[in-house]
Structure 1
Amino acid sequence: MTDSSGARPGLTLAAVALVQFMVSLDLSVVNVGLPQIAVGLGFSAVGLTWVIHAYALTFGGLLLLGGKAADRYGRRRILLLGLGLFGLASLVGGFAQEPGHLVAARAAQGIGAAALAPAALALLTATFPTGRARIRAFGVWSATNAAGGALGVLSGGLLTEYANWRWVMFVNVPMAACALALARRGVAGGRPTARGGRPDVLGAVLVTAGMTLLVFGVVRTDQYAWTSPVTLATLAVAAALLAAFICVELTTAREPLIRLGLFANRSVTGANVYTLLVGAAMTSCFYFASLYLQQVLGTGPARTGIMFLPFALAVVAGSVFAVTFGHRLVPCTLLVIGGLLAATGLAWFGLISPAGTFTTDVLGPSIVTGGGFGLCLGPVASLATAGVAPHETGTASGLLNSSRQIGAALGLAALGAAAHHRTGPAATPQTLNDGYALGLTLSAALLVCAVLVALAVLRRTSPPSRVERTDDRDLLPARG
């Protein structure tokens, strides 16, 4: 069926769902393959973290620019460009011969994802503006988002063990090609929705470069002390670039990436700081747990992927619980409960030992930590747009996603460096275990800080009224 604009809603939904599945899957699919990637390309212990950093930094740093570009130049056009770049970068990354090749490909993947993710969501909103069709469409979108994260760790393990680590990159190519074909046939061209000034490219470059240098300075403390001239100079340049970004946002004649006055809203500020800390802890947890299972316990990639399923399913269960019963508690309370639960699970994770097993050292902490993370995800998104003007809700949502990705990069850089210092030059199962245990314990500390932010910054708003609760139920996927 084709509507009056020439769009085919069914094909549009299929394309957007596949895009979201692919982006969500790519956030987790490489984790299980990291040890084999390190061996295959010769990554150092600290350098391996750049496989994660490169994607998270470009994705998070350019996400707001991607949303602005979609509004300014047309959502279909930006979606197609993003899909093409994402698929090409995945193909190039699969053929990487050196660490730098893969890192560059992952950075290009992040750029593609920053373009296609906001364009896809905006297309979904425009194609299904009201009614039962909208409810079903967003139910499909949410389901594919959760499925991508859950299946990413499983497929990453299976591909790494039974094919080759390169297939964790190649797997994106057919998905991007299918999404591209669906979008070309089903998504109408449409006119750009924004006619204002051109997007602030300079601001996007400054914030991405500043965050990248900041992460680089932290990561390189494996060779240069915190007080060394190299480290201090790198961090100083990073700070200067970030300060320049703020100046540009305040003075640019173009449309800024973000109106800095948004941060005067306590909900926006608190939700973004909370998300940054949760993103740091969650990414670090995946990273250290995967390495512990494979490098300390000697588990194969396929079994490691299967062992991550309880964690992923617990995240889904926690998210469903928050949606189903969240009307009885204010969002801030859910953030505190979820943060404390996840912190407890990570502290439990920190007790891992070289003689441990999946049942005694991983299963219980995975369920507790995953459930806690699941409780946090929905409420923090609602708080991030609380009290925001309707025309800025898209910007506020994009900012929250950027905070999650940037937090992932910064947290893994800092905790990865700390774990490397604890491990020392002798990489034995005992020293590796000690380093990973420290990283997991510090992740728990980050979540305690997130809980303190929720208590100190976020307002304790009252639970939704009876009418609001009825409306909220309309957002759940329809059954039948």
Structure 2
Amino acid sequence: MPALAAAAQFVLQLDFSIINVALPEIQRRLGLTAAGLQWVVTGYALTYGALLLVAGRAADLMGRKRALLVGLTAFGLSSLTGGLATSGFMLVVSRLAQGASAALVAPGALGVLTDAYTTPRARARALGVFQGSSAAGATAGIVLGGVLTEYLGWRSVLLVNPPVIAVLAWLMARKLPADHRGPAAARLDLPGAAPATTGAGALIYGLGEGQQRGFGSAPSLVPLLTAVLLTGVFVLVESRSADPMLPFALLRDRARRTGLVVMLLLGGVVAGYVYFVSLYLQRVRGMSTLLTGLALIPATALVMAVSILLSRRVQPRLGLRRTLLLALAFVGVGQLWLSTLTAHSGCAAPVLPGIVLTAVGMGLAFPTSSVAITSDVPPALRGLAGSMFVTAQQLGSAVGLAVLATIAAARTGGTGSPAAGYALSYLVATGIVALTALAVALLLPRADDGRS
């Protein structure tokens, strides 16, 4: 069962990165403008991030297995229409549908895992496999995207999905246990879902526009302010709802709050780390996209190994607090090491130790945070807990990458050196990691070292 849920997560992460390699050919073949091309990427992230919380609650109500199968089927169909697209508009609509489908799959997969594995050690092992598959999918997307685009054309990066999805859905229909559905009287909280969905979407859209046009521009500022306003509306509506979409009682648990904070802050650091290493290797060191993907394989392999083999042994022994602090120490040292990048640095000395240290920290931090967020959750809310985890990571990635990319661009513009911009982004990321460690130390008292 962990393998099936991990395979679903692998496919979702694969699609985040696989299409990036094909963007130049897509623009050339379909005649997309720069803004239209951006929507090929942004469209997926927008609907995925915006719908996660709602989809997680929907998975609880309709059943996690059913949510997985519905989401995977829709994902496969939207991949097919995207791969057969004859216009930019058709491709963008397909990517929007892909993101919406993925929002139903991710919390459903996490809910299935937490339903099946209830002891701390078994759950840590299963969630380690789940997190390892995320890292593998992101890197595999870069490598596979380069190979497919080079030899089979851009359509293949989307058309590879349907047959894989068909096999995966068939296996899940046969192997997964019967659904755990919510109470018959339960209904989706539409008054809460509306501001949650539109607020998250406005945030992601505003961040994307900010990177393109500047954060002081109206296309960025208006949606960002709207996101803040809708967040307030969401909190107000949920606090007065008899059956809220997000019961605030879930956030009273200190370990769960800490795990969400870690995922929110660390999500941005991790997104920036992969992004800027890729840019450095390609723009400064002149490596191809394929070689860049291959260069990231050691880090991916380490994340998988630590997530699957080490985290499940370390976390029960050290407890949540000490494991998270240890993980953040590795990530912080790795980011600090990467901040020494210069235009004249080689590939091995400044890059390899930095990505190795960061990968070890990620392999410890993500499974431990997922255990903290999903432990002691009532069965009827496990899909929602899974969506909280993925939402924190997704929104953290969007905000963190936007901030770090803006800082790097400003430094590059002032010095004329892309490497100087990348180095500064890593120095800022080091500060974010230190802030995350401080939050863990303050939010989780020493007594929680024994919790697992």
Per the normalisation by structure 1, the TM-score is 0.79
- Could you say what secondary structure the match of 1:29 adopts? helix
Letter matched to residue 423 of structure 2: A
Q: Is the 8 A contact 2:343 2:417 kept in 1?
A: no
* Residues in 2 aligned to 1:369 and 1:120: alpha-carbon distance in whole angstroms: 26
After superposition, the C-alpha distances for 1:31-72 in whole angstroms (9 at most, x for unaligned) are: 55567667777675x997765554344334322322332332
After superposition, the C-alpha distances for 1:342-363 in whole angstroms (9 at most, x for unaligned) are: 1221222233233333213322
Letter matched to residue 161 of structure 2: N
Work out the percentage of aligned pairs sharing the same amino acid: 35
The aligned residue for residue 404 of structure 2 is 415
Alignment of 1:291 onto 2:279? yes
Cα distance change of structure 1 residues 229 and 63 upon mapping to structure 2, 3 Å threshold: closer
The aligned residue for residue 302 of structure 2 is 314
Cα distance change of structure 1 residues 392 and 223 upon mapping to structure 2, 3 Å threshold: closer
The aligned residue for residue 63 of structure 1 is 52
Letter matched to residue 107 of structure 1: L
Unaligned runs of 5+ in 2: none
Cα distance change of structure 1 residues 458 and 136 upon mapping to structure 2, 3 Å threshold: closer
Letter matched to residue 279 of structure 1: G
Letter matched to residue 312 of structure 1: T
Count residues in correspondence: 449
Letter matched to residue 296 of structure 1: V
The aligned residue for residue 450 of structure 1 is 436
The aligned residue for residue 265 of structure 2 is 277
Q: 2:426 aligns with which of 436, 440, 445?
A: 440
Cα distance change of structure 1 residues 378 and 121 upon mapping to structure 2, 3 Å threshold: closer
Aligned positions of 1:49-448 closer than 5 A = 53-94=42-83, 103-123=92-112, 147-149=136-138, 151-184=140-173, 192-221=181-210, 226-227=215-216, 231-252=220-241, 255-319=243-307, 320-385=309-374, 392-424=381-413, 431-448=417-434
The aligned residue for residue 459 of structure 1 is 445
The aligned residue for residue 478 of structure 1 is none
Which has the higher mean CA deviation after the structures are superposed, 35-44 or 335-344? 35-44
Q: Is the 8 A contact 2:412 2:421 kept in 1?
A: yes
- Give the alignment's Cα RMSD to 1 decimal: 3.8
Letter matched to residue 459 of structure 1: P
After superposition, the C-alpha distances for 1:131-159 in whole angstroms (9 at most, x for unaligned) are: xx999988876775564355334323433
Q: Is the 8 A contact 1:35 1:294 kept in 2?
A: no
Indicate the structure with greater helix content. Answer: 2
* Residues in 1 aligned to 2:6 and 2:220: alpha-carbon distance in whole angstroms: 43
* Residues in 2 aligned to 1:160 and 1:387: alpha-carbon distance in whole angstroms: 45
* Residues in 1 aligned to 2:22 and 2:447: alpha-carbon distance in whole angstroms: 43
Which has the higher mean CA deviation after the structures are superposed, 164-173 or 394-403? 164-173
Cα distance change of structure 1 residues 43 and 388 upon mapping to structure 2, 3 Å threshold: same
Cα distance change of structure 1 residues 374 and 53 upon mapping to structure 2, 3 Å threshold: farther
Letter matched to residue 436 of structure 1: Y
Cα distance change of structure 1 residues 373 and 386 upon mapping to structure 2, 3 Å threshold: same
Letter matched to residue 286 of structure 1: V
After superposition, the C-alpha distances for 1:434-478 in whole angstroms (9 at most, x for unaligned) are: 33333333333222221121112123235549xx8xxxxxxxxxx
* Residues in 2 aligned to 1:383 and 1:15: alpha-carbon distance in whole angstroms: 22
Unaligned runs of 5+ in 1: 1-11, 469-480
Cα distance change of structure 1 residues 195 and 39 upon mapping to structure 2, 3 Å threshold: same
